[in-house]
Every structure is written in structure tokens, then in C-alpha cells.
Structure 1
Amino acid sequence: MNTITGIICEVPGAGSAPAILRRLTTAALAVSTDGFALSLPVSPTTVIGPETLPFTFAVSGTGLFRERGRVRILAADDWAERLAPDEPRLGDLNGHYIAVRRRGNRTELFSDRAGLRTVYIGRTEYGWIFSSRLDVVCRDVPDAGIDWRTFGSRWLLLQQCSHRSPVRGAVKLPPNGRFRVENGSLTVTSSPWMKFDGVTDAETVAGTIAAFTAPMDRTVSLGLSGGLDSRVLLSVALSSKVPFAVHSFGERTDADVALAERIAAREGVPFNHLQQPFPSRDRCVALMQEYVRTSNLVDGAASSVRLDQYPLIIGGAVMLDGGNGEILRRQFLQRAAVTASDDLRHRRTERLFPAFTLRRADIFSGPFLREMRSGAEEDLHASLHSLPPPDEIGLADFLDGWSALFRIPVVACDEQGRLDGILTNYMPFSQPDLLQLAVRLPERERRNNRLMKRIIREHRPSLARFPLVKNGVRYPYRLTTLQARAWSALARRFAHSADPFLHRFLDAVKEFALDTLGSAATARYDAYDLAAVRRAVEGYYRSERRYGGTVNWWLAFEVWRQGIENEKAGH
């Protein structure tokens, strides 16, 4: 279990913190006193402060500081200097991290500005437990259980629309936030960081992208697909002096992988094809349990195997990923912008609900579904009203600001913790300095990929000769956003829509799925529409492949809730 986990003992006679922590993890303890114990990931992203300081600290993640047109990854001395003052100096940092500081009997935890990492904390019989894994916190929190109102937007909408924990008894650290535990009480604070004022230009944004593509004194492994965002990073990397290679995940025949390999060969860049052999049945189940409980339902169960490639990145390289480049292309929430612009301007939550919906699986019974829907509407309303009015800042900045403040951190915060347990990595387009610039860049520069294609043209115009790939469909580089969307939609109409990888995964976990379906724990679980679950699972394994998506998401939820409920549903 490669995670941050800490114990704070405050109850006399409840046992020592190290003994309690060793019951939860076999990992070595980074800090060990009677009242406080901490374990951390065995990873290049872990920093532990020296014992010579008047306080104890540890960091999991990657702190980035911009200087001289590049970024520097913070080392132990940097963190010690920044965490020494009562009010730590973290406001100018990029990157993603959780910092833990212990001074006397006060324990504090800090998250990065954008909220790309998080941690959960809960009250226990001995004091407090905190962890970057929600299921670990639930092991020692009495009566921990799903908060169905908070969980509602996580299941029914694009992502959860709040920064609260979806589990009763656990508190989530929000973006730019601080936990302080002292004298038996928990204080949670968070400071707004995004400003909706000022204007920037394309040159400033391009220079910032270049800085995040060039970490000092490090080699880079750049994730390259057939998409535009990773190609922008490639164009910048090719014009820099940073040593780098590119990598791609997936089958070599996949459209993204094939195009990435072709581009790398033409541009003379070292290319690494990363593809683990498909795992055994038992390994599939183990990967699913680990992934789902770590990422908290950010994706379906099959992604556990799709994403089991990161350990193949070798040599200590920093992995860069082009995720969330959409924010510089005005692509987030396009469906809402096109179909419900007037409702967005007036923030009419009920009418906007369909535009924010993402259908996962219809597996819950009526009473629970109504509670989820009510909570989802409430959280969507609150999130939309936490920003300045669209008429004041413009609809484009409103949508991209909402995405930066809610979508990006909620989707990233748990999965990023899992990745940080494996290797040093970050996403240039997700950095708060760049997210801030995105809402200050005139909308015309964001639309139709204008800024992104300009960067490619100025840094490596030869990259414009290659087509682009979106959702497995190739289309000409020259197309506008609208033309590309129409091209892809037309291609998908005539394409075979089955996902062979999903079916291979579901076939591998068939025994687990059917055993779980037939268990007493599943039969008595009130939240399920049991008839719908049985129809989907039994139908799928009778070769009704249309139920594949439902089974994928049901498995994810079932494995997740077993972890939350301390595996009382054991099989």
C-alpha cells in the first residue's frame, strides 16, 4: 500500500501511534513517536525532512518553482525553508503535493493550490487517522458509510461538484487547503486562488507552457498520442535543450500509438512503446481492487489494467502528460455551452442538469437515486454560484474557471496520489499558473485551437504534416474544431463500436463478478436495484455485450463500497 497514512494518538491508554499504524500498513514508518506516526510512499516523489530541524515534515508529490524560464523540482532543503514559518510559503508553487508538518502537539497538512492532491482525515477511538486513501481512513472511523447526497454528483454528473468527502465520518482536504489538528480538534481552511480579472497574451501563455516542459537537471519522458495537446508539448520540447524521449501506452496497432511512433521516427526522437502483457485473472482482480479503491471511482474497473503501464517508465525520467490541455482550446463543457448557453448565464441548475450528466450505470434503487439526484442538483448549484456571474466575466471564462476549480482537481486528486507512489510526474496544462492564464487569455485565442497550432507552427512546423487522432479516429490536421467533431462523429457511425479491451477484461474477471452478484451481501444491499444489476451482469455473460459498460461501472462501485465498508461484504 504505497500511500500517505498517519496516526495521531490523543486518548491515554489507546495504544501507541506506531503500533496502530503497523496494524494498517507494512510500510516503513517515516516518523515514529508515541503520539504520532507517519508512513509514506516508497517513491522518488517522497521527501522527508532532516531530524535536525525544530519541527518534523514530510512531502509526497512534486513541488515546482518557476525561475529563469524553466521549472525546478523542490528538494528537501527547499521544503524545509518554505515550511519553517508559521504561515508556510506555498502560494507561489506549482505542482501537486501533500505536505505534513508536526510541531509539538500540532499536526498540519497542506495541499497544493489547484488541489491536484488530497488527503482524508477521520475521528477515531484513539484520536485521528489521515491517509491519501479514503478506504484506509474508513477502517478506523466508526460508522463510516457512503454519504449518498455528496456521492450523487460523483455518479450522476461529469464528476463530483464539491470538494467534500463522499463518505460520512471522513473529511477531505480541499484545494489550497490546510488541516490543523491540535488539542483534540480539527480545523479546516481553504483559500481561493483563481482570479477572474486581467488579460494576458498568447506569448505569455506559450512561454509558460515552455517553462513547464523543461524541468531543470532532469530528463523527460513525454506521453505522446495522436492528439493535439501532447503534440504541442512535443513541439516545445524539440526546440528546448532538455534531454527527452517519448512514450505511448496501448497496442501497437492502436491509432494513437501508431501515429505517435511514426511522428517520433520522423522527428528523430527516442520512442518507448509501453505495454504490459495482459494480466492473469487473479492479477486483474487485484489490480481492479487496488485501482478502484485508490482512485475513488474516477473511472470504470477496466481502467485498472489499461493504466498498469506506468512502472515501465525507467531511468528516473520525469513523466509529462498532456492532460487537460482542453482548457486552452475552449473544449471543456462544450455540450453545455452549445445547448444551454442561456441557462448557464442565469445558472438555472435544474435545466442545466442534463448538460452536466454522464451516464455510468443504472444500478441504484429509487429512494437512493432520488437522494443522489437531490444532492447532485444541490452541489451543482453551489459550484456554479461559487464563481462570479457569467455575464460579469464572460461565459468562456466561467466554464473554464469552473473546470479549473472543480473538474480538474476532483478528477485528478486521488489518481495523482496513486501515480506519485510510482514515479515523478506532472501535467503541464494542469498547473495553477497556466490555469490562471487560461481564463485571462482572450477567448478568440482559445477557440479553434488557435493558440495551440500557433505554438506548433512557431516551434516545430513539421508536426503540422501529421493527422490528428481523437477517440481512435484520424482526421486532417487542418480541420477546425467543429469540422473535426463532425468528421469524428461521421467516422464513428460507420465504425465497429465494440471495445475489445473492455470485453477481454470483463471476461477475465467473470468468476469474481458472478460470485459477487450471487453473494448474500449483494442480495441484501438496499441501495441496489437488484433486478437491474442481475439483468446486466447475467445478460453480459450470456453474450449480450451491450451491457459491458454497466458491468464495468457496477464492478467499480461494488469493489469501492466493499473497501469503504471495511470489506464487510467479503466473498
Structure 2
Amino acid sequence: MSWIFGYNGIITETIQKKFDKFDTLPEKKILNERLILLAGGNHKTLFYSDSKNWIVSGVGIIADDSQIRLMSRDDWDKSFANRLLPELEGHFLFIYWNDEEIIFQSDQAGLRTIYFYQTETGIFFSTKLKLLSSLLPKTELDFYTFGSRWKLFNQFSHDSIIKDVKKLPPAGIAQIKNNKLYLKQNKVSSVISTKSPADLLQVIEKHLKIIIPDELNLTLGLSGGLDSRFLFALMLKSKRDFLIHTFGSETDPDVLIAKRAAGVIRKNINFIQTSESISSDFLSKLLEYASVNELIEPVSSFQKLIVFENEYFRDKVIVDGALAEFARRQFLNRLLFKGKKLLMNKDSEGVISHLTLAKPEIFRKEYVLQMQEGIKQQLSDIFASHNNFIEYQPEQFLDQLIYDYRIPNYFGPEQSRLDEIVLSFMIFAQKNIFEICKHIPLQSKVNSRIFYNYLRENYPMLAKIPLIKGGISYQFGSSTIRSFIVTKLKKYFSNDFSSGARIIFLNGLKEYCYEILSEREIKNYPPYDSDKIIKIRDGFYEGNLKLANDLDWLLSFELFRKGLKID
């Protein structure tokens, strides 16, 4: 990411040495009587003003004369002068300061954030949790907060998972003044009437016509999934110039279907092949990935995500189709179908079982109890603040839950990581598009009707090609329930591609796993249940391939712990 690292307070010799030891060369450095501020990384996602004392890390999107464009430095300067930050789209962290105070603001969705650590003499701040954790006398995981991040679909709070560290929430404003930190949310409320699929198509088309710098090209990642195919059709219809890319191995079902879809349109597709080899360089990058992704995905996913370091993306702006599920009413359907009564009754304990993800039990009982208590409290707090919303509009409530908690806690860390190496924007994470999706009648959204209908009407040849979900194919036009059942059955009776790739990945790391998951290393971390960990490690490498998921997540946690030096 473009990054920011700083300190406000009494600058002692010890404080100064901490910054002198910083091993990354900043693009911008501010040093005055009470402020040290370093900023650097990807110059395409870093903007600043020497004369007006502001810095931005991230990507801004602004509407002007019915057009949408990526924000330039001049755009940021005007927005700062007019205090328009809450109205801007994109993902960014904005900082400005004077002799009296420092103000931090995050985007509405919370895709970018910043962390704070207060000492007796001042306050450190950084967009990188890893940087801040290195300053703590002892880095400890807050299991009460961490529980939902580890055991559920995503974390259901905006608190930091590291003790003594505070985090800026979505639409957040932080103020440092007189050596005190103040945090609050400044969400822009929207009063929106009922919307139609046509309203959604219109605003997405407008975003896909986004004006970008002349030296850059727009590129869409095309997979075998429905969402990228829908955006592909919309971009074709817009008649603008754009590229498409796909990546993976040559036998990856997503790659095969993406090539087929591009072929029927006679559109060239840029195929970037990922490597299955594991080098020492890859291992150091894997550790860095685990340190910054905050356990949103298992480390095996990095084998594909490393592709964004490819030269192809150096002069591109990536259109990211994530979160299109908002337009398909697809999020948290397991809870809606199987646990709706529990949801309506605001039964926190009952709802938990419908939000869990398959993760290994690797912690001792007392830490598990802390996580369970934290989860129940987080859900209870959410239910209390959305009382009537849940009762009368459960589907809208679940979408709001995703916007409020999944975007910042799941998509946020990866967006921050990507900002360091590429330029991208996520269409469906924009506040106005989310609000339109939320206010389209339910019957127009369910079973992906908007997407299916658009493809059938405008590009029927794309409607004849099957879709891919989790490495498994299913028929175009399938309902939500049918596609779920088909992919589940196919996965049960066959070795799906994604499972095979994970096994190959873990087998290639056997020596490394035994090294970092040795009995001595395990016993050095008190929360670990060493017996369970050894059973997972040895069981997989002795042939029980069903333990691949558990080992993948175990390895992820241990690399995250090592990267942040958690005790």
C-alpha cells in the first residue's frame, strides 16, 4: 500500500531513533517540533501538499459534470479546501495537520484505516498494523475482539485485535490534540426511495466510463464467475477501450471458462500463469502477506494473489467486481434460510452457528471461552442498535451488516496491500451503489435475476457458457439454491481444483511447516493447544488430506503471529 507512519508528541532521542531505524525510504518526510510523519509506497496512490499540510494514501473517485474520474492531486487539494471528504467515493485515508492538532479521515466503507498507539509522551500512528506492533513493549492478541475474526464469516466490530492499539472505524474521524486521541464515526446518511434494476445499471455504467490518466489502461479481471461476466458485458456495451485479464494455472476451471467467454466475443484476454514453485523469495513474501492480511484468507491464497506483482499491472487501473453479491441478495443466505427465526429473535448464541467458517481448534479452552464471549457481545451490540431494522427488513439488515463489517474487516486489509503495488477500485463498495442495491425490491435481486437478464438480453452467447464457483461448474441461470446444491454435490464426489491446489501448496511447504510448527515453537506461545496442533500437522503429512484446510489456517495464524511478533 502507499503507507503512512508517524508520531505526535514530545520527540525524545529514543523516539527519533525508532524512525531513524525505519528501513523503508519514504517519499515524503515531515519533521517539526512535535510531529514526525513519513509516507511512501506506490506513488499512484500517494498524494500530498507541502504548503497546505495534507497527505492522502489511497484512491479517490469524484463526480464532475456527470462524469466520474480518479482524483488527481489538484482534486484532493480542492476537496480539502471545501471539506468535501465525506462525499467522496473510493478508498483512502486523509490526514491534515496544523500547530494545534492532527485530523485523520477514512472513506465511508472503511477500506482504508489507520492504527494508533499511545504512550506517556505521545501517540504513534501507522496504516500498517505490523509497524505499530513493533513499537509495543509486548504485542498481545485481544482474544475477546479476535474471536469473530477467527471463528466467523468476518470480524463484527471495528476494534483492533491487538491490545493497546486503537483503530479508525469506517467513515471515521480521529483527532490528536494535547496528547489525547479522539475517535468517532461520521457516516453520511442517505434517504433513498425504491430503486429499479435500470437505476443500478445506469450508475454502474457511469462508473465503468471512469476517466483515468492517459498513460494508464483500464483492465477487468475475468474469471468463470457470474459477477465478472456481468461487468464484462457492461464494459462491452459501453464501447470504451479496456483490457481483460485472467490468471491461474492453465487447467484452472476459472481460467478455462474466462478464455471461453472472451473467445465467443473475439476479445483478446491476457493470461498470466501463476507458478507452483516455492522459493526462498516466495517464503519471505508469504510471511509479509500473512503479516498484513490479518487472517482474512489462508496463506495458500497468496499463490494466486502474488500475480499482482506481474509487470502487466504496472500501467493499469484494475476494475474489481467484488461485492457484486449486493445486487444479487447473496450474502449470508445460510443465516437467512436456516436461521431466520433466530435472527428475528436476536438470538446471538443461536445466530453464531450460521456464521461460522471451518477453522481449526488450535487454542486452549480458556482462550476459546474469551473468543465466544466476545462474539456474543459483538452480535448483541449490533442487534441492539438495529432493533426495528432486523424485524421489518431482515434482508436489508444482512446487506447492511456486510457493508458495515465485512468490507472494512475482510476487504480492507487486502485493499491496503494492493494499494502498494497496483491501482484499483471496487465498484460495489461505493456507498451510492450499495444504497441503490439495498433499495431495489427483493424479487428483482434474488436468484441473480438482474445479472442473468442483462446477459441474456445483451450478450446471449455469454449466457450459454457455464459458470464457476469455488472451482466447480454449474449451469448459467441456476437459482441460488440450485447452484449451491450442485456445487456442493460435485465437490463432495470429486476433488475440486481449489482443494488440489491447496494440497500441492502445503506439500511443497512440508519442511517449512515442520520448522515453524516445531514442538518448541508451539510451546513458546501459551494460548496454543499443542496436542491439537501436532495432530493437525502430523496427520496431514501422514496422509490425511482432509486436514488440508486446518493446516492451511494453522500455518496462516502462525505466520501472522510471527510477522507481528505476538507473544
**Which TM-score applies when normalising by structure 2?**
0.94
- Listed as ranges, the gaps of 5+ residues in structure 1 are none
1:564 alignment partner in structure 2: 564
1:515 alignment partner in structure 2: 515
* Structure 2 counterpart of 1:360, one-letter code: K
* Structure 2 counterpart of 1:207, one-letter code: Q
Instruction: Name the stretch that deviates more: 164-173 or 516-525.
Output: 516-525
Instruction: Describe the SS at the equivalent of 1:84.
Output: helix
Task: Say yes or no: does 1:60 pair with 2:60.
Answer: no
Cα deviation, residue 250, structure 1: 0.8
1-side partners of 2:425 and 2:212: how far apart?
A: 16
Seen in structure 2, the aligned counterparts of structure 1 residues 388 and 64 have a Cα distance that, compared at 3 Å, is farther
- 1:26 is aligned, of 24, 27, 30, to 24
Instruction: Name the stretch that deviates more: 302-311 or 485-494.
Output: 485-494
Paired residues for 1:156-235 under 5 Å = 156-193=151-188, 195=190, 198-217=193-212, 219-235=217-233
* Structure 2 counterpart of 1:548, one-letter code: A
Could you tell me whether the CA contact under 8 Å between 2:295 and 2:557 is conserved in 1? yes
1:268 alignment partner in structure 2: 266
1-side partners of 2:514 and 2:195: how far apart?
A: 56
Instruction: Name the stretch that deviates more: 300-309 or 187-196.
Output: 187-196
Could you tell me whether the CA contact under 8 Å between 2:70 and 2:212 is conserved in 1? no
Cα deviation, residue 221, structure 1: 0.7
CA RMSD of aligned residues (A): 2.1
Could you tell me whether the CA contact under 8 Å between 2:4 and 2:127 is conserved in 1? yes
1-side partners of 2:457 and 2:176: how far apart?
A: 51
Q: Deviations over 1:259-308 (max 9, x none)?
A: 11111122122211122333434233212211111111111121222210
Paired residues for 1:479-558 under 5 Å = 479-497=478-496, 499-518=499-518, 520-558=520-558
1:240 alignment partner in structure 2: 238
**Which TM-score applies when normalising by structure 1?**
0.93
Seen in structure 2, the aligned counterparts of structure 1 residues 497 and 531 have a Cα distance that, compared at 3 Å, is farther
Cα deviation, residue 124, structure 1: 3.6
1:154 alignment partner in structure 2: 149
Cα deviation, residue 414, structure 1: 1.1
Could you tell me whether the CA contact under 8 Å between 1:222 and 1:247 is conserved in 2? yes
- Listed as ranges, the gaps of 5+ residues in structure 2 are none
2:455 alignment partner in structure 1: 456
Could you tell me whether the CA contact under 8 Å between 2:290 and 2:563 is conserved in 1? no
- 2:77 is aligned, of 73, 80, 100, to 80
Could you tell me whether the CA contact under 8 Å between 1:121 and 1:171 is conserved in 2? yes
2-side partners of 1:276 and 1:476: how far apart?
A: 27
Could you tell me whether the CA contact under 8 Å between 1:154 and 1:161 is conserved in 2? yes
- 1:120 is aligned, of 90, 103, 115, to 115
Seen in structure 2, the aligned counterparts of structure 1 residues 249 and 439 have a Cα distance that, compared at 3 Å, is same
Q: Deviations over 1:111-170 (max 9, x none)?
A: 100111111111146522222221210111233311110001111111110010001111
Instruction: Name the stretch that deviates more: 110-119 or 312-321.
Output: 312-321
- 1:131 is aligned, of 123, 126, 149, to 126
Q: Deviations over 1:463-499 (max 9, x none)?
A: 2122211122222213222222222223223212572
Paired residues for 1:223-372 under 5 Å = 223-312=221-310, 313-314=312-313, 316-372=315-371
1-side partners of 2:80 and 2:399: how far apart?
A: 32
Identity of aligned residues (%): 27
1:141 alignment partner in structure 2: 136
Seen in structure 2, the aligned counterparts of structure 1 residues 297 and 554 have a Cα distance that, compared at 3 Å, is same
Q: Deviations over 1:157-188 (max 9, x none)?
A: 11110010001111111000012112111111
Seen in structure 2, the aligned counterparts of structure 1 residues 232 and 68 have a Cα distance that, compared at 3 Å, is farther
Could you tell me whether the CA contact under 8 Å between 2:288 and 2:563 is conserved in 1? no
1-side partners of 2:26 and 2:437: how far apart?
A: 42
Q: Deviations over 1:37-90 (max 9, x none)?
A: 333343143233232x3x3111111111134554210110111111235xx211
Instruction: Name the stretch that deviates more: 360-369 or 310-319.
Output: 310-319
Instruction: Describe the SS at the equivalent of 1:356.
Output: coil
1-side partners of 2:550 and 2:11: how far apart?
A: 49
* Structure 2 counterpart of 1:145, one-letter code: E
2-side partners of 1:384 and 1:289: how far apart?
A: 37
Instruction: Describe the SS at the equivalent of 2:352.
Output: helix
Instruction: Describe the SS at the equivalent of 1:361.
Output: coil
Paired residues for 1:377-396 under 5 Å = 377-390=376-389, 393-396=392-395
2-side partners of 1:335 and 1:165: how far apart?
A: 28
2-side partners of 1:243 and 1:558: how far apart?
A: 44
